[in-house]
Amino acid sequence: MSSCVKPLVQSEQSPLVLLHGFDSSCLEWRYTYPLLEEAGLETWAVDILGWGFSNLERLGSCDVQSKREHFYQLWKSYIKRPMTFVGPSLGAAVAVDFAVNHPEAVENLVLIDASVYAEGTGNLATLPRAAAYAGASLLKSFPLRLYTIFLAFKGTSFSTSLDWTNIGRLHCLYPWWEDATVNFMISGGYNVSRQIDQVKQKTLIIWGEDDQIISNKLGVRLHCELPNAIIRQIPDCGHLPHVEKPDSVARLILEFVQDYCQKEAQFVPM
Task: Write out the catalytic residue numbers.
Answer: 89, 211, 239
**Interatomic CA distance for residues 249 and 234, integer angstroms:** 8
Whether 107 contacts 14, CB under 8 Å: yes
Collapsing DSSP states into helix, strand and coil, what is residue 235?
coil
Contact between 71 and 62 (Cβ < 8 Å): no
Contact by Cβ (8 Å): 65, 47: no
Q: What are phi and psi of 232, to 5 degrees?
A: -135, 130
Q: Do 112 and 89 contact (CB within 8 A), yes or no?
A: yes
Strand 16-18 relative to strand 43-46, pairing: parallel
